[in-house]
């Protein structure tokens, strides 16, 4: 398998829940050229280039390289093996059943609108906003669909009232349908 992600990227969406061991890894499906990871709230699928002898399996996130500059190849066939300029490391596959993640992906969405955001902007927003009464960082996003270039308004509401703690905008945002 050929993919250029790091251990940090691979584990970012993995579940940390001990009661969901399958979700602590990434599902590799060579026939679909896909590597999928979910924690039950976020689902991410990477396109990969499979090798001819690769088999399906749940890969531990530790398998992936530490630095983006490392040049690694991966062999998935009963176990997971990373090969790089320093040698090789072998890992056991996670022996669990991965959930049917495809069943939660809608085939089509009526009145579909796409929002293109710079993830650096979202990271800046995440870093800037305080936690709410539930000790989480949650905001409400609102956007209009009349313009191709627009702003997204956001507010963070109090849990027990309609009052908000802060508000702002993300701009510019490209909208398309």
158 and 75 assigned to the same domain: no
**pLDDT tens, position by position, 164-177:** 777 777 766 565 55
pLDDT band for position 46 (cuts 50, 70, 90):
very high
CATH number reported for the structural domain that contains residue 89 in this entry:
3.10.150.10
131 and 100 in a common domain? no
Q: Look at residue 152 and tell me if it is in a domain.
A: yes
Does some domain include residue 27? yes
In a shared domain, residues 130 and 93 = no
Report CA-CA distances (Å) from 71 to 46, 82, 85, 111. 18, 10, 7, 43
User: Domain tally for the chain?
Assistant: 2
pTM (two decimals): 0.77
Whether 1 maps to a domain, the answer reads no
Residues 118, 143 within the same domain: yes
% of the chain residues with pLDDT over 70: 84
Q: Write the pLDDT tens digit of every residue in 140-162.
A: 777 766 555 566 777 776 666 66
Shared-domain flag, residues 62 and 131 = no
Mean pLDDT of the chain: 85
For residue 2, tell me if it sits in a domain. Answer: no
Whether residues 94 and 131 share a domain: the answer is: no
Rounded to whole angstroms, the Cα distance separating 65 from 84 reads: 9
| 88 and 154 both lie in a single domain | no
Give 109-140 pLDDT, tens digit per residue: 666 667 777 788 888 888 888 777 778 887 77
Q: Do 88 and 123 fall within a single domain? A: no
| Domain boundary pick from 75, 104, 133 | 104
State which residues form the domain around 132: 114-176
Residues 16 and 79 in one domain: yes
């Amino acid at each position: 398998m050929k993919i250029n992600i790091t251990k940090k990227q691979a584990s970012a969406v993995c579940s940390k829940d001990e009661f969901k061991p399958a979700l602590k890894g990434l599902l590799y499906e060579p026939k679909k050229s896909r590597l999928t990871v979910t924690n039950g709230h976020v689902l991410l699928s990477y396109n990969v280039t499979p090798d001819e002898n690769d088999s399906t399996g749940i890969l531990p996130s530790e398998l992936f390289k530490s630095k983006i500059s490392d040049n690694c190849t991966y062999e998935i066939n009963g176990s997971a093996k990373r090969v790089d300029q320093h040698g090789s490391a072998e890992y056991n596959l996670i022996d669990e059943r991965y959930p049917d993640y495809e069943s939660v992906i809608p085939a089509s969405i009526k009145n579909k609108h796409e929002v293109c955001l710079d993830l650096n902007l979202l990271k800046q927003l995440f870093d800037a906003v305080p936690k709410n009464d539930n000790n989480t960082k949650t905001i409400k996003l609102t956007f209009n669909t009349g313009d191709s270039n627009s702003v997204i308004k956001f507010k963070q509401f109090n849990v027990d009232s309609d009052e908000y703690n802060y508000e702002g905008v993300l701009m510019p945002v490209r909208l398309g349908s």
